[in-house]
Amino acid sequence: MLQLNRYRVYIKYCFQGILLIFLATVADAQVGNVIYVHDPSIIKVDGDYYIFSTGYGYGIPMRRSGNLYDWQWGGSVFNAIPAWAKQAVPGVNSLWAPDISYRDSTFYLYYSVSTFGSNRSCIGLATNTTLNPDDPDYAWVDQGEVICSNYWNNWNAIDPNLVEDDSGRVWLAFGSFWSGIKMRQLDPETMKPDSANTRLYSLARRPSNNAIEAPFIIRKYGYYYLFASIDYCCNGSESTYKVIVGRSSEVTGPYVDRSGNEMLNGGGTLLLSSTNRWRGPGHNSVLLDSTGDWIVYHAYDAQNNGRPTLHIRSLNWTEDQWPTVGDWVQLETEPVTMNPTDFTLFPNYPNPFNLSTRIGYELPRPVQVNISIYDIRGRLVTNLVNERMDAGYHTVVWEGNSVSSGVYFYRLTAGEFTSIRKMILVK
């Protein structure tokens, strides 16, 4: 049973084979597979919760939970970047900021294709009829390009969010930096831009520095609420991300903050900002659930090398119908066992990196582990790990000081399991 606990509670759980006891404040609310979660989008299906997030490599990771609290790895949407995406955006090496929704018996996953700092970008779409990987009908089908921007545009086609208005029309909000948050009406048959309405609507911008992105729109209390992230992400503990909100009686705006300032003129009521430990909270989604309303976002852990970490907190409402952020999810249950169910090698973070990078992996049982680094010619550079390790989540840091810039590969061998990923060192 979920509860909002305003006080400290003791949480016991098994982590990396050792029984630990933590005084769990709200800073330690979610457990399980909750790090390296960036730009989370959430949906609830048949009592289970699913989160999709940015992939630090080719895919789009999926995580699953039965209680919003204990999260487990659920696989990846893609095994490779779609061919159309690599052709449309040269140099793309990962897929960003997905948005998951359900409509007419189909799950729609919009995703971003871009490279950092560029507006040569595209939004793609993949569909599925189920989110349960054990279902025989489980299969992601890539529907290709939805909308693209290029160097000559003053907007950026990333950070998609699907919105359905009171009339049943469907819209796609998106945008990052440049001239801010945009919106296009979609054809309900193709779920791609409607040829009958080609207008590009502007919803929000920051005239001072253009640092606004990651729109997410919900309908509640007769309003459309636009959440957006301002300032700068993706710099670990130095990130300055914040979440703001405004509302409108029309899905296309104008959106105003609690003081009446338009978001097109730089307005926005502050909802989330950094704490001593959790830096740069942002790129949120919102879940309107029978258990309450929840805001889901990532924040960088200053006590753990700035790793992006999943956060889920209650979304409360004032008497004049403005959102406020409440407490983290807690459980009214006994200790949680955190042993993973599968072997997993995670993308390193950060990637590309300059001085050092962290490699995470999960082991479902005690096993002999080897992690080795190879250069692009397949030559062994170093062995990072070569020992028997307990079940649980583990990390290891590689300092690339003694090698030159370039592409490297890291390989995990754990018993009969082997997995290889690519990383880029830039000096």
For the chain (427 residues), the mean pLDDT of every run of 10, in chain order, is 34 30 42 90 96 84 92 88 95 94 97 95 98 94 98 97 97 98 98 97 94 98 98 93 98 98 98 96 96 95 89 96 90 52 82 83 91 95 93 84 93 94 91
**Catalytic site residue 137?**
no
The domain total for the chain is: 2
Same domain, 131 and 29: yes
Q: What is the DSSP code (8-state) at residue 5?
A: -
CA torsion through residues 307, 43, 168, 109, sign: positive
What phi, psi does 30 have (nearest 5°)?
-85, 150
User: Any bridge partners for residue 140, and if so which?
Assistant: none
Last residue of a domain, one of 336, 366, 382: 336
* Nearest Cα residue to 173 out of 161, 165, 185: 161
Q: Phi and psi at residue 99, in whole multiples of 5°?
A: -135, 120
Whether a cis peptide bond, with omega within 30° of 0, leads into 350 is yes
- Degrees to nearest 5, angle at CA 49 with 45 and 54: 115
31 in the same domain as 157? yes
Do residues 88 and 118 lie in contact, with contact meaning Cβ atoms separated by under 8 Å? no
Q: Which of 274, 308, 336 is the last residue of a domain?
A: 336
Q: Tell me, what CATH number does 365's domain have? A: 2.60.40.1930
The Cα–Cα gap between 73 and 61 comes to 8
**What pLDDT is attached to residue 57?**
65
Residue 83: enclosing H or E segment and its boundaries? helix 83-88
Same domain flag for 289 and 352: no
Task: Check whether residue 386 and residue 329 sit in a common domain.
Answer: no
Helix, strand, coil percentages (3-state) for the chain, rounded to 5, are 5, 55, 45
pLDDT for residue 18: 29
Does residue 294 contact residue 315 with C-beta atoms inside 8 Å?
yes
Residue that terminates a domain, selected from 312, 336, 360: 336
Q: How far apart are CA 404 and CA 426, in angstroms?
A: 8
Same domain? For 383 and 273 the reply is: no
231: left (phi over 0), alpha (psi -120 to 50) or beta: left
Catalytic choice (39, 70, 231, 362): 39
Taking residue 267's Cβ as centre, other Cβ atoms within 10 Å add up to 19
> What is the total residue count of the chain?
427
Give me the residue label for tokens 């989604």.
Answer: 285
Instruction: Residue 259: give its domain's CATH number.
Output: 2.115.10.20
Name the 3-class secondary structure at 84: helix
Q: How much is the pLDDT for 280?
A: 97
In whole angstroms, give the CA distance from residue 160 to residue 171: 10
Distance CA 82, CA 84 (A): 6
Residues 61 and 194 in one domain: yes
> Could you tell me if 86 and 226 lie in one domain?
yes
Question: How many Cβ atoms sit within 10 Å of the Cβ of residue 217?
Answer: 24
Q: Please check whether residues 346 and 323 belong to one and the same domain.
A: no
- What is the predicted pLDDT for the residue at 77? 94
Alpha-carbon torsion 373, 376, 378, 379, what sign?
negative
Consecutive H or E run containing 23: strand 18-24
Nearest alpha carbon to residue 324 among 304, 300, 303, 294: 294
Q: What is the DSSP string of 107-171?
A: EEEEEEE--TT---EEEEEEEES-S-TTSTT---EEEEEEEEE-TTSSS---S-EEEE-TTS-EE
Bridge partners of 324, per DSSP, are 316
**Same domain (yes/no): 319, 350:** no
213 is catalytic: yes
Q: How far is CA 105 from CA 179, 368, 410, in A?
A: 35, 45, 40
Q: In sequence order, what DSSP letters do the residues of 285-345 get, joined into one string?
A: EEEEETTEEEEEEEEEETTTTTEEEEEEEEEEE-TTS-EEEEEEEEESSSPEE---SS-EE
Question: Are 28 and 88 in a shared domain?
Answer: yes
Given this model, what pLDDT does residue 58 score? 64
SS3 assignment, position 337: strand
Do 233 and 259 have their domain in common? yes
Report the pLDDT value the prediction gives residue 208, as an integer from 0 to 100.
Answer: 87
Within this chain, do residues 216 and 286 fall inside the same structural domain, yes or no?
Answer: yes
Q: pTM of the predicted model, to two decimals?
A: 0.78
Which has the closest alpha carbon to 268: 228, 320, 223, 326?
228
Residue range of the domain that includes 322: 2-336
Q: HSE-up of 29 (CA within 13 Å, CB side)?
A: 27
Among candidate residues 70, 99, 159, 213, the one labeled active-site is 213
pLDDT given for residue 4 in this prediction? 37
